[in-house]
């Protein structure tokens, strides 16, 4: 959530920045400012009413002490009316504050100055490419055919148990999944990220804190009887560990990593580009999360990008990095880099990671603050990234490492799998 004082002080510049998302933000900003004006007017009226009531209370006490009970009774009647007014004003103020809060929730984060304007993924900028694209030719099989041939993944069994988008991994493929999780966690902890295990269910306050609610409410699985949500990413519970916290400057940065399953209702469209592991409702992911003071957050973002580059380099997968345009940028993000790995058999790029800086947008919702060098509370900056999401990494390993007799395991994973081939 954008800080209210930022919208008050810079409405035109915020609207201009939000224009990169392809939206006319002036109406929503004006609505926020009008609601804020109404709230402040009510607050002023309430403060004045309470001050007058306090003054009357002192006068009534003095009159009773002076034996002027008749005059005191007259003032008591006036005081009772003030109490009724203050009660009504308090209710109106609370309603105005709630309405203002809901309006603020609808305003997306302002894109960083480096974010290109654009409407969709076609306008994203390629900022880095690594590795030669393998030319598999017509003999290469997509991962869903390899999975069937080598009995690695049973998509139909997942449909039987749950539904489409919930695959069952078997044998060496299940072991390969576990190897990838361990490899990512080991590399993340070696880089200074503290490993945590977090709940896979979160409450509404957690969803609001990181921006999944109300923006992505329809994409989350909800347990309505308990008012809980299955997590779409470890970012949500990990970042919410610090909700309502006031830290010392010396506590920063905070760096965490976590492995969790992720659950997303998004169905997308049908076709080859969403077959197999390309889009799932349940998948595994290892996440990295950082909390930084504002002056360090963009240097931290670059460090996270370099870290993910290192993971993909060790796996030997060709990849590229995109800077997302405004129209493709997530609601809460100020700047996002997407990593895409080349699928040889499908001959297309598959997204495997997003690394984002949210600046103070999440921290403002979370009330996540730190004391600066002057001991003054300030909003922290939050960042997160996939390091890495497993389904498409697994798909690309199966496709890019296939040969005539099987599938080779990347060298860096062999100590984790205990085998170097699937045959």
Binding-site residue set for L-serine: 233, 264, 287, 384
Are the C-beta atoms of 208 and 240 separated by less than 8 Å? no
129, 320 contact by CB (below 8 A)? yes
Q: Which residues pair with 381 in a beta bridge?
A: 292
Q: How far apart are CA 355 and CA 339, in angstroms?
A: 8
Q: Is 344 exposed, middle or buried (0-12, 13-18, 19+ CB in 10 A)?
A: buried
Q: Binding site for ATP, residues?
A: 264-266, 351-354
Binding residues: 233, 264-266, 287, 351-354, 384
The answer, yes or no, to whether the previous bond of 388 is cis (omega within 30 of 0) is yes
Sheet holding 254-263, edge to edge: 125-130, 319-323, 335-343, 348-357, 381-389, 282-292, 254-263, 194-195
Would you say 342 and 349 are in contact if contact means Cβ atoms under 8 Å apart?
A: yes
Question: How many C-beta atoms lie closer than 10 Å to residue 148's C-beta?
Answer: 15
Burial 306-335 (b: 16+ CB within 10 A, else e): ebbbebbeebebbbbbbbbbbbbbbbbbbb
- The DSSP code sequence of 157-213 is HHHHHT-TT--EE-HHHHHHHHHHHHHHHHHHHHTTPEE----SEEEHHHHHHHT-T
Joined tokens for residue 330: 């997530």
Q: CA gyration radius for the chain?
A: 27
Cβ-defined contacts of 139-142 (< 8 Å, 24+): 140/344, 140/345, 140/399, 140/402, 141/345, 141/399, 141/402, 142/272, 142/275, 142/276, 142/343, 142/345, 142/346, 142/399
Neighbours of 338 (CB within 10 A): 20
Tokens 């007014």 belong to which residue? Answer: 85
Phi-psi region for residue 173, left (φ > 0), alpha (ψ -120 to 50) or beta?
Answer: alpha
Please provide the distance, in angstroms rounded to a whole number, between the alpha carbons at the two ends of the chain. 51
Q: For 172, list phi and psi in degrees, rounded to 5.
A: -65, -25
């Amino acid at each position: 959530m954008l800080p209210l004082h930022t919208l008050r002080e810079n409405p035109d510049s915020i609207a201009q920045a939000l224009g990169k998302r392809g939206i006319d933000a002036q109406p929503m900003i004006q609505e926020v400012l009008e609601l804020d004006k109404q709230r402040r007017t009510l607050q002023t009226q309430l403060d004045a009413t309470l001050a007058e009531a306090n003054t009357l209370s002192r006068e009534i006490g003095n009159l009773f002490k002076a034996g002027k009970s008749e005059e005191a009774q007259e003032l008591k009647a006036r005081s009772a009316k003030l109490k009724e007014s203050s009660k009504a004003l308090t209710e109106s103020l609370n309603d105005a504050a709630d309405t203002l809060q809901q309006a603020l929730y609808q305003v997306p984060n302002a894109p960083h100055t480096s974010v290109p304007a654009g409407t969709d993924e076609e306008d994203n900028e390629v900022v880095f490419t690594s590795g030669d694209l393998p030319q598999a030719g017509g003999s290469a099989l997509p991962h869903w055919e390899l999975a069937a041939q080598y009995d690695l993944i049973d998509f139909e069994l997942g449909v039987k148990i749950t539904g489409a988008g919930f695959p069952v991994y078997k044998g060496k493929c299940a072991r390969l999944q576990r190897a990838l999780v361990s490899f990512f966690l080991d590399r993340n902890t070696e880089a200074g990220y503290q490993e945590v295990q977090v709940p896979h269910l979160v409450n509404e306050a957690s969803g609001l804190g990181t921006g999944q609610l109300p923006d992505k409410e329809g994409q989350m699985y909800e347990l309505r009887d308990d008012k809980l949500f299955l997590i779409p990413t470890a970012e949500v519970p990990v970042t919410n560990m610090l909700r309502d916290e006031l830290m010392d400057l010396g506590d920063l940065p905070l760096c965490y990593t976590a492995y969790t399953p992720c659950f997303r209702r998004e169905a997308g469209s049908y076709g080859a580009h969403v077959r197999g592991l390309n889009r799932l409702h349940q998948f595994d992911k290892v996440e990295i999360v950082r909390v930084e003071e504002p002056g360090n957050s963009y240097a931290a973002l670059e460090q996270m990008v370099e870290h993910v580059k290192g993971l993909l380099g060790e796996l030997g997968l060709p990849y590229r990095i995109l800077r997302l345009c405004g129209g493709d940028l997530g609601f809460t993000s100020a700047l996002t880099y997407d990593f895409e790995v080349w699928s040889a058999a499908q001959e297309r790029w598959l997204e495997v990671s997003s690394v984002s800086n949210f600046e103070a947008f999440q921290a403002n919702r979370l009330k996540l603050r730190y004391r600066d060098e002057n001991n003054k509370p300030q909003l922290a900056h939050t960042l997160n990234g996939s390091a890495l999401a497993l389904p498409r990494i697994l798909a690309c390993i199966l496709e890019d490492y296939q040969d005539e007799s099987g599938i080779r395991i990347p060298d860096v994973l062999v100590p984790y799998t205990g085998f170097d081939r699937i045959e």
